[in-house]
Every structure is written in C-alpha cells, then in structure tokens.
Amino acid sequence: MAAAPTAPLRIAQIAPLWASVPPSRYGGTEAIVHLLTEELVRRGHEVTLFASGDSRTSARLRPGCEENLVDAMAKGAAWFYEGYANANLAQAIRDSSSFDVINCHLGCGAIPVGTLSKTPVVHRINSALTPDDLWMLGRHPGVPIIAQTRSQIASVPPPHRAGLRVIHNGIDIEAFEPSFRPGAYLAYLGRMSPLKNPLDAIRIAREAGLPILLAGAPENQEEEAYFAGQIQPLLDGRDAACIGRVGHAEKNEFLKNAAALLFPVQWEEPFGNVMVEAMACGTPVLAYDRGAVSEVVDYGTTGFHADSAGALARLVPRALALGRAAIRARALERFSHTRMVDEYLEVYRSLAGAAESYAHLA
C-alpha cells in the first residue's frame, strides 16, 4: 500500500560526483539535486544525500568520495570517474531497505544496478539521449524515468515510454532580484564551448549593433583551445568583453542588467537552466531553436527562437520591447523549484511501498 499523501517519506538522492552539492562552479545536475534535497527537508521528509564529501546540505550526507572529482582530478588525486560513481550507487542500493524511494541522478547507465534495489528507484535523465541510452531504456522498459523536457525523450520509441515522466527543471526564483529597466548590453552566460556557441553570440550582437558581455570560462583543454583561437581575438574590451566565471551574486547583476540573453546552442540542449535564470531577472531570451528551447521559451512572451544568427539579430528589437515584469511572472509560474518538488513528490509517493512489484521489472 502506498504511503499516505501527507506522510513524511524516507528519500535517497544519489548525485553525480563531478561537482559538490550545491556546485561551486559548473554543475547543472548538482544544482537540481540541491534544490530538491533542501526543499524536501524543509517539508519534513527524511533525506539522505549520496554525494561528494565537500557538499553542504541540511540532509544526512553519505560521502561517496572526499571531494568532488573535478577538483580531485585536477590535483591528480583521482583519474577515473566511473569507479567512484558506481561505489556511491552501490552503497545506496545496499542501504535501500532504509528508504521509501531512491532518486538516482546518474543517468541511464545506472538503470541495471538500480533494478537490484529492494526499494523503488526513479532515474533522472541529465543530458541528451545517446544510442546507448536508448538501448538501455529498451532493455528495461517500465523502469521509472524522469526527463527534463519532452524534446529530450522524443527519440524514445513509444513501446519504451511506459515509465517516462517529464518534469521541467526549477530554480529558486526568489534568489534572483529582477530589473524591469531596459538593459545596456546583450549577455552570454555559459561554458566557452563550441556546443554552447559564444562565437555566434558575438556575431548576433554585432549584427544587432549592440555590445555583448560574456560570462563563463573554458572547462577543459579542448575548450581552452577554442576560446583562445575563436573567441579571444574578437574581444576588444568595448563592444565585446568577457568577465570570466561568476558567482551567484555576480550572475544576478550580470543577467538583470542585460538587454537580453543570447543562447545560440549548437546541440540538442535537454533544458538550459540559464534561460530560466535570465527570465527570473526579467531578461528576455533569444535562442537557437534546438533541443528544449521552444519548450522553455514562450515565443513572444519570454523571448524568441530562430534557426540562424541573422534571424535572431533581427528579433532583438522585438525582444527588447517585451515586458520584463511579465517575463519574471511567467518564470515564477512555470519554473519555480517548489513546483518542481511538488511534481517529484507525486512520483515518489506513487512509487513508495511498491518495492515488491518494482522488483519484477528487473
């Protein structure tokens, strides 16, 4: 029998180990895990967080390694990710009888191990699906899966969609102070990566006749070479400048004072939290129509999307004319973290107490 609708649940959250929870720099999944965990604790649930030892949480922390693996690898203290992540997952599975439900954020690769659990496990898909992920979903049809957007699971064949549920990401909207005055520059916020495409952001700003500020940094050697070869030569400090990585307070100021956020991604982006962060500041979004963009951006209300740099540049005046208070209100309506937690709890409660029937899916 399922748990009562208001009874506290014992919930395990299994985070990736690349970054701490919450992340100090880059770490979209770890940010979602943090918001889920803290809100669940605030609502009275008993939460155990399986994460890196440098995480900060109100839940019970079960460290899978002493520090996040990005930092550990930079020091030469760790070389390979998989062993640590597998050990973290295995520990949660060994302890599964202590929980009503386990939420695993390691992606489709964790599904087979999850079927060994005595307690229901729901897996969150973090990125665009690969052929290997599709194979895994076909191999284990009916396993509970949470996707970030409908576009993320569009390639999953209908017979394999039985356990899929779409829950849009949320952010703490109230943690962002908006500005309802016109901004002075176009903004780009993200990794200095060809897939995130700061190069086209600069091109769009130039064609629109507005200055651009970029925030972010390369995260690996490939991105460092891209930044040095493609982006730095275009930075003149006047019409195009880069301010590097930004913490939360700096990011808030950066986004709220922007005329619009440019999001010219070159891949099938599964969500794009930065778009919602801009909206929370009242800032419209101009993005390439790839992946989840059209699902996140309400065309003509919170921004616009198009298929080319020229088309987006021509949409800049329309974006600047949008009501910034209405953009903020729409972000609160669609993408608050409390709404996200409400929907996750619906999934958790539907699975709680179903361990016996869930075991038959293995």
Q: How confident is the model at residue 28 (pLDDT cuts 50, 70, 90)?
A: confident
Helices (H), the chain: 28-42, 69-74, 82-94, 111-114, 131-139, 198-208, 221-226, 248-256, 273-280, 293-296, 309-320, 324-335, 337-351, 355-359
Report the distance separating Cα 270 and Cα 75, nearest Å: 31
Residues of the chain with CATH 3.40.50.2000: 10-170+336-359, 173-334
| pLDDT on residue 357 | 47
Report the distance separating Cα 362 and Cα 358, nearest Å: 8
Q: How confident is the model at residue 318 (pLDDT cuts 50, 70, 90)?
A: very high
φ, ψ (nearest 5 deg) of residue 15: -95, 155
- Beta bridge partners, 163, equal none
> Does the bond joining 198 to the residue before it have cis omega, within 30 degrees of 0?
no
Count other C-beta atoms under 10 Å from residue 328's C-beta: 22
| pLDDT on residue 354 | 60
Q: pTM of this prediction?
A: 0.91
| pLDDT on residue 219 | 85
Average of per-residue pLDDT across 101-121: 94
Average of per-residue pLDDT across 168-185: 96
Report the distance separating Cα 79 and Cα 131, nearest Å: 26
Report the distance separating Cα 65 and Cα 85, nearest Å: 9
Q: What residue type is 332 in one-letter code?
A: L
Average of per-residue pLDDT across 297-323: 97
CATH architecture of 10-170+336-359: 3-Layer(aba) Sandwich (3.40)
Q: For all residues of the chain together, what is the average pLDDT? A: 93
Summarised one tens digit per residue, pLDDT across range 234-249 is 999 899 999 999 989 9
Asked whether 38 and 171 are in contact (CB, 8 A), the reply is: no
The residue with tokens 């909206």 is 279
Average of per-residue pLDDT across 101-109: 96
Task: Please count the residues of the chain.
Answer: 362
Q: How confident is the model at residue 362 (pLDDT cuts 50, 70, 90)?
A: very low
Superfamily of domain 173-334: Glycogen Phosphorylase B; (3.40.50.2000)
Asked whether 150 and 129 are in contact (CB, 8 A), the reply is: no
